[in-house]
Amino acid sequence: MLTGLAEKSSVIGIGLMSGTSLDGVDAAVVEIEGSGLQSKVRLLHYYTKPYSEQLRGRIKELCDPATSNVMNICGMNVYMGELFAEAAMEAAREAGLAKEEIDFVSSHGQTIWHMPEETGQDDYLRRSTLQIGDLSVIAKRTGWLTTGDFRPADMAVGGQGAPLVPYGDLILFGAPDKGRLLQNIGGIGNCTALPPGAGLDEVFAFDTGPGNMIIDQTVLTLTDGRLSYDKGGAWGALGTPDEELLAELLSHPYFRQLPPKSTGRELFGAAYTEAFLHRAEERGLDGADTVATATAFTAHSIANACKELVVPRCRIDEVIVSGGGAHNRTLMATLAQLLPEQAIMNAGSLGLADDAKEAVIFALLGHSFLRGEPNNVPAATGAAYPTVMGKLALP
C-alpha cells in the first residue's frame, strides 16, 4: 500500500488539526505533487467541525491535573478519534470526492499536555507530550490510511516536539527575495522565521506565548459563558489597555527564554487567566479595558519576539498572520503599530485561507512520513538531528 502511494505523481490527503484554542477540528483536503521541500500543494477544500461549549469544557478539564483523570482521558481519546474521522469524511464529501480518491489522512490530534522540559522533581516524569484522538479509530471509521502523533518522534531525539509547522511554512511561503515571519495565532502563538532564500537549516521557529487563549477565556468569564471569543476584536477596541498590568504580564519568565522553546495551557491556561482577571479587578478595570489589556498582551508578546529574537538574526520584510487571531482587527492593528518596519498581512492575502494553514501543513507532514522523509526542523525544535515524525494506522 505504501509503495503504491510513493509511486504516484500526485496524491490527495486530508490534514486534520485541533489546537489550543479548542474551536473545533479543521480539515484541509489537499492535492500534493512531488515530495519533500519541492512539494507543490493545492487546497481543494477547507472544512471546520466546531466544538460545542460542553465538549470544549470537557477538553479543558483534561488539560488540568486538578480536574483530569485516566478514565476520562481514555474515553475521550476514542471520542476525539470518532470526531476527527467525521470531520475528514465530511470534508471529502463537501469537496465532491469519492472515498477511493482519498489516499491518506494525517491528524495532529488534540494536545492535552505538553511537557518539553524535565521537571527535576520526579525521575518518572520525563520530557513528554500527549495528543489524543486515536489514529486507529480514524483509520477504521474512514477506511483511509491514517498517520499522526508527530511530536513524540522529535522529542525522542532531543527536541521539544514543537513547533511542527516550520517544515510546511517553508514549502508554502519561502521566498527568494523576502524575509518572512509566519505568525500563527491560535490558542498559543507560534512563529516561523524564513530568511530570504532560506534552506531548511536556516529556518528557526518557536512559540511566542499566548495567542487567543487568554483573550477567549477572559471573554468567556466576563460574559458568564454567553460569548467564547471577542468577535473581530470589537470589545477590545472599546477599551484601553492598562499599561501597568500589561508590563506585569510581559515580565513572565517565558518571554526571556531563548529559542527553541514551546508552551501551552500548562503555563498560560485557566489558572493564569484567573490570576490576570483578579489583577484586573484589583486595578478597577471594566470589561472593555480588561479585554483590551489581554489583546495588547498577545500583540506585544508577538511584536517583542519579532524585534528581540528574530530581527537580530535575519531580515524580516513581511509578517504573515494565520489562525483565529488573524480575524481580530484590534489585534492586527496593534501589531501593525508595534511593527512599523514590517508589512502585516494575513495568509489569505497570499491565497491560503487563514484558518486552513495548519491543517494543510499536517497533510504535508503526513505525506512526508508516508514517504519516509524527515519532516522535523531541528533548528526549530532543538532536536539532535532530522527524523521522520509520525505513526501509522491501517484501515
Distances (CA, A) of 185 to 100, 118, 271, 314, 336: 35, 27, 20, 21, 15
Chain segment 190-208, per-residue pLDDT in tens: 999 999 999 988 999 999 9
Task: With cut-offs at 50, 70 and 90, classify the pLDDT of residue 3.
Answer: low
* Start-to-end Cα distance in the chain: 11
Q: SS3 string of 115-178?
A: ECCCCCCCCCCCCEEEEECCHHHHHHHHCCCEEECCHHHHHHCCCCCCCCCHHHHHHHHCCCCC
pLDDT, mean of residues 76-103: 98
Is 232 strand, coil or helix? helix
pLDDT at residue 7 is higher than 90: no
Residue 298: partners with Cβ closer than 8 Å, 6 or more residues away: 185, 189, 209, 210, 211, 212, 214, 215, 325, 331
106 is in an annotated binding site: no
pLDDT, mean of residues 287-305: 98
Task: With cut-offs at 50, 70 and 90, classify the pLDDT of residue 10.
Answer: very high
* Dist. CA 104–CA 167, nearest whole Å: 19
Sign of CA dihedral 380, 263, 20, 186: negative
324 is in an annotated binding site: no
22 is in an annotated binding site: yes
Q: SS3 string of 55-82?
A: HHHHHHHHCCCCCCCHHHHHHHHHHHHH
Query: What is the predicted pLDDT for the residue at 355?
Result: 87
23 is in an annotated binding site: yes
Residue 54: partners with Cβ closer than 8 Å, 6 or more residues away: none
Task: With cut-offs at 50, 70 and 90, classify the pLDDT of residue 264.
Answer: confident
Query: What is the predicted pLDDT for the residue at 158?
Result: 96
The mean pLDDT value of the chain amounts to 94
pTM: 0.89
* Dist. CA 229–CA 143, nearest whole Å: 36
Beta-bridge partner residues of 128: 115
24 is in an annotated binding site: yes
pLDDT, mean of residues 216-220: 95
Domains and CATH numbers, the chain: 2-160+359-393 (3.30.420.40), 166-350 (3.30.420.40)
20 is in an annotated binding site: yes
